[in-house]
Amino acid sequence: MRQAHETLVFKTRGRGLVEITGDATGFLERQGIAAGLLTLFCRHTSASLLIQENAAPEVRADLEAYFERIAPEAPGRYAHRDEGPDDMPSHLRAALTGVSLQIPVMDGRMALGTWQGVYLFEHRAAPHRREVVAHVVGD
């Protein structure tokens, strides 16, 4: 059994979904592990990871609009505003989506479905530098 890890770095443009499937695929290809488990972990409290449809861009737009509705920036709504009005809504969105994914590796590739992609979900309005730790264990 072997394992490997690497920190993947992404520069976001502000709030929205950034597909990182290709970066995760590149990491796996560099490791040469045919079967195992890939873990992706987002090292931030105001960004998250999710697996979602990667064919129709309307899905991403609808997801972003939905999270705007359920965790809005609203003056006076939240006590925590240390980094501005999007601070607490960003934490809520990250809590609802999660910061880690576990994906089976089969034949050296992520065992994603036909229309599935891996996304970093930036919840802050301003651009950020985000780190995602990729870790794979297997043979």
**In the CATH scheme, what is the code of domain 2-138?**
2.60.120.460
Evaluate if residue 64 carries a pLDDT over 90. yes
- Shortest CA distance to 116 belongs to which of 13, 24, 28, 5? 24
User: In terms of Cα–Cα distance, which of 94, 103, 84, 80 is closest to 130?
Assistant: 94
Residue with tokens 């560099």: 30
pLDDT tens, 72-129? Answer: 998 889 999 999 999 999 999 999 999 999 999 999 999 999 999 999 999 999 999 9
Whether the model clears a pTM of 0.85, i.e. scores above it, the answer is: yes
Query: Could you report the per-residue pLDDT of 24-36, keeping only the tens digit for each?
Result: 999 999 999 999 9
The alpha helices in 19-86, defined as continuous H runs, are: 21-31, 57-70
> What pLDDT is attached to residue 15?
96
Q: Quote the CA–CA distance of 135 and 3 in Å, as a whole number.
A: 7
Average pLDDT over residues 129-137: 98
Q: What is the pLDDT of residues 52-63, one digit of tens each?
A: 999 999 999 999
41 near 99, Cβ under 8 Å? yes
